[in-house]
Amino acid sequence: MTKQKQQNDDWSIYILRCADDSLYTGVAKHVDKRLIEHNTDNLKAAKYTRARRPVVLVYQEVADSRSAACKRESAIKKLSRAEKLLLIGQGF
């Protein structure tokens, strides 16, 4: 798994910084499209981000498959806030 720009069919793990300064982690094939959904769409946005708009993409990492992306997402969600901030600082 490497930190790089997303290819057409690659899955990505992403971290958003919300308006309340909290961090949200998710997976998507098309992160740019997903970011728009988080910021504007009340049906497709995560319930968490709907209440914390606007959100900004602060980290993105490409995975080899959906399974790998979900496993990495789970690992990132288990990190402390300080560890996530370190990851973001090293990221994209």
Q: Which domain holds residue 64?
A: 11-90
Determine the residue type at 67: S
Whether residue 1 is contained in a domain is answered as no
Whether residue 39 is contained in a domain is answered as yes
Whether residue 74 is contained in a domain is answered as yes
Is residue 5's pLDDT more than 80? no
The three-class DSSP label of residue 3 is coil
Reported pTM: 0.87
Contact call for residues 59 and 5 (beta carbons, < 8 A):
no
At 18-76, the pLDDT tens digits run 999 999 999 999 999 999 999 998 899 999 999 999 999 999 999 999 999 999 999 99
**Gyration radius from the chain CA atoms:** 12
Domain CATH for 45: 3.40.1440.10
Through-space distance between the first and last CA atoms of the chain, rounded to whole angstroms: 14
Whether residue 3 is contained in a domain is answered as no
Whether residue 35 is contained in a domain is answered as yes
What's the rounded Cα separation, in Å, for the pair 27 and 69? 6
Whether residue 68 is contained in a domain is answered as yes
Torsional class of 21: left (φ above 0), alpha (ψ -120 to 50), beta (otherwise)? left
Domain count, the chain: 1
